[in-house]
Amino acid sequence: MFSLQNKTAIVTGGASGIGLAISTAFAQAGALVHILELNAEQAQQAAGDLVGAGTRVKAHTVDVSKQADVRAVIDGIAAGGPIHILVNNAGIAHVGNAETTTEADMDRLFAVNVKGVYNCLNATIPYMKANGGGVILNMASVAATVGLADRFAYSMTKGAVLTMTIQVAKDYVRQGIRCNCISPGRVHTPFVDGFLATNYPGQEAEMFAKLSATQPIGRMARPDEIGALALYLCSDEASFITGTDYPIDGGFIRLNS
């Protein structure tokens, strides 16, 4: 079950955190994985680490907010054969409310988290249509569904990802394209460790415990748990699923209300 043999997958932001976990799960399931990453060194390192017994991973340096650059990379991938899976995972975070979020902050988050998803959809969907279908998985967040304090711009972008997911599923269901999204709660990634080190020096352990406790299940998710859900949703076993958001949040949405 959950084999991706003979599949080609694109994972944006696929060299760290949740994206790396997804790239790993897909490569181990047999897919040819194309990692799209802003940081060239990080992309090459991840690809090198993942290439092993039977795995195939290629790295591409691209800024997803730049449409021409995205199109050039995806055109190049498509020239090598069908694209079966697109995972829109690349994203950035921001802390602030409607008053403290600057125009520059809003533009920056929109460019990556919303326009970046659109750019990849716009470039990839024509190839999927021509090849008789495909699977698209977008990375949303619990912030798309419930209010999170001081996450004004971030929540806005993830709400847009959720609605883009539903719209793409609606528009392309007859072309054999499935589109779903995942909404993680807090996940223990290098970003979390960096955030705590920057904002709470000397209090990292205490703040990590507080953040973990906000999840009713009592801990943060592991990136590989998100990767496992992504693998299922992009596999043929999930062929009857489209237009759906999948919270993976330790009970955060339902049990905190």
The 10s digit of each residue's pLDDT in 131-161 is 999 999 999 999 999 989 999 999 999 999 9
Backbone angles phi, psi at 209, to 5 degrees: -65, -40
- The question of whether 154 is a catalytic residue gets the answer yes
> In the chain, what percentage of residues exceed pLDDT 70?
99
pLDDT of residue 195: 83
If pLDDT is split at 50, 70 and 90, which confidence band does 54 have?
Answer: confident
Q: Please, what is the average pLDDT of the chain?
A: 95
In this prediction the pTM is 0.95
Over range 227-250, report the average pLDDT: 98
Sequence ranges of the domains in the chain? 8-185+223-247, 187-220
**Which residues, 6+ apart, have CB-to-CB distance to 74 below 8 Å?**
10, 83, 120, 123, 124, 127
> CB 55: neighbour CB atoms within 10 A?
18
CB atoms < 10 A from the CB of 224, how many? 13
Confidence of residue 120 (pLDDT cuts 50, 70, 90): very high
The answer, yes or no, to whether residue 52 has pLDDT greater than 90, is no
Question: Which of 46-60, 109-123, 242-256 comes out lowest in average pLDDT?
Answer: 46-60
With bands split at pLDDT 50, 70 and 90, how would you rate the model's confidence at 51?
confident
% residues pLDDT > 90 (the chain)? 92
Residue scoring higher pLDDT (97 or 53) = 97
Q: How confident is the model at residue 250 (pLDDT cuts 50, 70, 90)?
A: very high
Distance of CA 153 to the CA centre of its chain: 17
59, 43 contact by CB (below 8 A) = yes
Does the domain formed by 8-185+223-247 have CATH 3.40.50.720? yes
Longest dimension (CA), the chain: 55
Per residue in 189-210, pLDDT (tens digit) is 988 898 899 889 999 999 999 9
**Of 118, 127, 154, 246, catalytic:** 154
User: What is the per-residue pLDDT for 257?
Assistant: 61
The mean per-residue pLDDT over the stretch 230-235 comes to 98
